[in-house]
Amino acid sequence: MTATIGAPVERVEGRAKVTGAARYTAEIAADRLAYAVLVGARVASGRVSSIDTRAAEHAPGVLAVLTHLNLARVAAVPNLFPSLFGRAAPGETFFPMQTDVVHYAGQPVAMVIASSLERAQHAATLLRIEYESAPPITTVEQGRTRAYEPSRIFGGLIPGRTVRGDVEAALARAELRIDATFRMAANHHNPIEPSATTAFWEDGRLMLHDATQGITATQMTVAAFLGLSPADVRVRTQFVGGGFGCKAMIWPHVTLAALAARHVGRPVRLALTREQMFTSCGHREEQEQRVVLGATRDGRLTAIRHHKLSPTSEFDDWAEPSLGSSELAYSCPNYEGVYRLFRSNTMTPTFTRGPGESTGMFALECAMDELASALGIDPLELRLRNHADADPSGKPWSSKSLKECYQLGADRFGWAQRNPAPRSQGDGRWLIGSGVATATYPVPALPHLQAQRARARLYADGSAIVECATQEFGTGAATAMAQVAADTLGIPFERVRFVYGDTDLPNSAAAVGSAGAGMLSSAVYAATSALRDQLVQLAIADAESPLHGAEPAAVDVKDGRLTRRDQPDRSEAYGDLLQRHSMRDAEAVGTWIPTGWDTGYAMTTFGVQFAEVAVDAELGLVRVRRLLGVFAPGRVLNPRTARSQLMGGMLWGLGQALLEGTLMDVRTGRCGLVLF
């Protein structure tokens, strides 16, 4: 049997997904299921002055119309804290429909619950809602003069200002300076599955199905909002149709679904419409970034100043951490990163794929290209000259293969063969250009991350189940975890069933920050290692076992058997051992405590991307012909699913650079009008 970790194993849930057998949240069947429809505020700032619900209440099939006048109050509004930490993780510290205030367009102001979706939708159109509205602030242009410097951003995790050395002095001395400003549109995630929650109450216990990147985060958050014990909230969700960050935090609609179910005494499904996906679950904020580089004539960076201005909500200090990459991407003695925010009539922004890295590296790398051009140095060579051999604090990297990435990428792309002179390469009416950029992504080695747990059980027939309170939202985690379990227990991949999608299983954090596979696999490894060690101990203490008396470290597990490495003929199957001891199975729980900052190593993923782009200058067309990415992300559990992840990230970058942007109508503060 060969190791499966690192093998391109096909997704275990692939067939269920492509045949439609996999059930998503809005497809969960329930007896007497009722349907809730949210009605969003049509103004972006002000208050609801009146709601006439009579026509809606009398429409056929309507069970309830809830507004701030009759919706139950939430027990508490928990602090905004990213969902990695085992606490409540609301997307914003504002819960709608508690008062008449309107902070942003689309904010829920009413909820109609009816016996069918269509009836609820129709009744929602019968509501007559009047507003007192004030002119909204929603864009950087409008908010520029109101900006302030927050002490911390991103749920309090990141300081608003980070300084190393003396940037001002270094820029004054710099032989060359580049000063560039970048404007970036807001982005909305829009995974293929819009967010949805199905809620019902069973013997006083709240049962939820939720399209979430963290069923445990849903559990903790809804429990906090409703004043329930986590023991009284159970979330079951196996499949999630993508998230890209909009399901990383737990947004108000989830708790509203639970409140609706309690109000009508029936199971309630609340599925957001595509339009509501623009005003219900966060976004990447519009932003302006300014990068000032100082350098020597031979292309050594002496200063990086990276400032960002962006809108946040009226109640939270949130900016995606766009400046973190500039702090460590290159060796540079002087650095200054400053976030500035202004209050706006939008909801609180949130994680959006490449949250901060994609925008921050875009700005930094464009500035690096400007510098390369000004210096007459090849852009790749400039990056090599500024390679950071250690992190800014001097810690060695846990691993870093960026130079190898540069080399491999340049070879495969044919970087050396290009003519760098502008407009020198063409194909018919197309001008052809190429470019390169460094990629970085942090490893979330943060203090206070929650313990990750998994439970492993081996049956006497040599099959195993491994359980964990996680979910499969398209990353391939269920497949990769079975691979880890199979290798650690020494049984074939096909004999492992990874069981997930239920908060009654051992705890794991939400799958966010590209940390899911790393954290989950550590728990699975801990559980399966503990189980293996337990069985090894059982065998070596057993006089009837061929392994009796062996050193534990001298026992291999392979092909469902325990074997003395130095005496391969002294071996027995797991099943024989268990049966001799009248054991149906053996079981162990494994716990992995995430490392904090004090590992002695700096941890960051590096890579490089090359692009070949065609431009029709006359018609203004931009078409990307080739994208090549080379990444060194550490140990790859499954190259097939890892490749999908990387390709997905590159395609998001392509869309972000060329096509995507949420349009805001500044007159009304409304975005995401029905554009499709």
Partner 1 sequence: MRPVSYARATSVAEAIAALRAHPDAAFLAGGTTEIDLLRLDVVRPNALVDINALPLSRIEDLADGGLRIGALARMSDVAEAPAVVERFPMLMQALLLGASAQLRNMATIGGNLLQRVRCSYFRDVASPCNKREPGTGCSALDGINRGHAVLGTSDHCIATHPSDLAVALIALDAVVRTEGPRGARAFPIDEFFLLPRDTPHLEHPTEHGELVVAVDVPAAPIARRSLYAKVRDRESYEFALASVAAAMDVQGGVIRAARVALGGVATKPWRARRAEQILVGAPAQRDTYARAAREELASARPRQLNAFKVELAQRAIVRALETLAETGGPQ
Q: Does 635 bind partner 1 (CB under 8 A)?
A: no
Q: Does 231 bind partner 1 (CB under 8 A)?
A: no
* Token code pair at residue 382: 């400039």
Phi/psi for 550 (5° steps) reads -70, 155
Q: How far is the CB of 275 from partner 1 (least distance, A)?
A: 8
What is the rounded end-to-end Cα distance, in angstroms, of the chain? 51
Q: Does 675 bind partner 1 (CB under 8 A)?
A: yes
Q: How far is the CB of 116 from partner 1 (least distance, A)?
A: 10
Nearest partner of 498 among 155, 259, 238, 208, judged by Cα: 238
**Only segment of 132-140, 174-182, 638-646, 664-672 that touches partner 1 (CB under 8 A):** 664-672
Contact by Cβ (8 Å): 342, 146: yes
DSSP assigned state of 9: P
Touching partner 1, residues 31-50 (CB under 8 A) = 42
Burial class (CB in 10 A: 0-12, 13-18, 19+), 49: exposed
Q: How far is the CB of 428 from partner 1 (least distance, A)?
A: 11
Touching partner 1, residues 170-229 (CB under 8 A) = none
Q: Does 670 bind partner 1 (CB under 8 A)?
A: yes
Burial class (CB in 10 A: 0-12, 13-18, 19+), 214: buried
Q: How far is the CB of 58 from partner 1 (least distance, A)?
A: 14
* Token code pair at residue 291: 């990068």
Per residue, what are the HEC states of 151-187?
A: CEECCCCEECEEEECCHHHHHHHCCEEEEEEEEECEE
Measured distance CA(13)–CA(22) in Å, rounded: 8
Site string for partner 1, 593-632 (x = CB under 8 A): -------------------------xxxx-x---------
Binding-site size, partner 1 (CB under 8 A): 21
* Token code pair at residue 123: 């009744």
Query: Residue from 122, 308, 495, 561 that binds partner 1 (CB under 8 A)?
Result: 122
Q: Which helix (H) or strand (E) holds 219?
A: helix 215-226
Site string for partner 1, 48-77 (x = CB under 8 A): ------------x-----------------
Q: Which alpha helices (DSSP H) does 267-375 contain, by range?
A: 324-328, 357-375
Q: How far is the CB of 182 from partner 1 (least distance, A)?
A: 20
Q: How far is the CB of 128 from partner 1 (least distance, A)?
A: 13
Q: Does 651 bind partner 1 (CB under 8 A)?
A: no
Query: Residue from 79, 115, 121, 162 that binds partner 1 (CB under 8 A)?
Result: 121
Which of 575/661 has CB closer to partner 1?
661
Nearest partner of 138 among 317, 308, 347, 344, judged by Cα: 344
Q: Does 553 bind partner 1 (CB under 8 A)?
A: no
* Token code pair at residue 610: 């090359």
Q: Does 663 bind partner 1 (CB under 8 A)?
A: yes
Query: Residue from 10, 118, 130, 411 that binds partner 1 (CB under 8 A)?
Result: 118
Q: Does 665 bind partner 1 (CB under 8 A)?
A: yes
**Only segment of 118-126, 332-340, 449-457, 469-477 that touches partner 1 (CB under 8 A):** 118-126
Nearest partner of 543 among 580, 586, 579, 489, judged by Cα: 580
Residues that bind partner 1 (CB under 8 A): 42, 60, 118, 121-122, 125, 618-621, 623, 658-659, 663, 665, 667-668, 670, 673-675
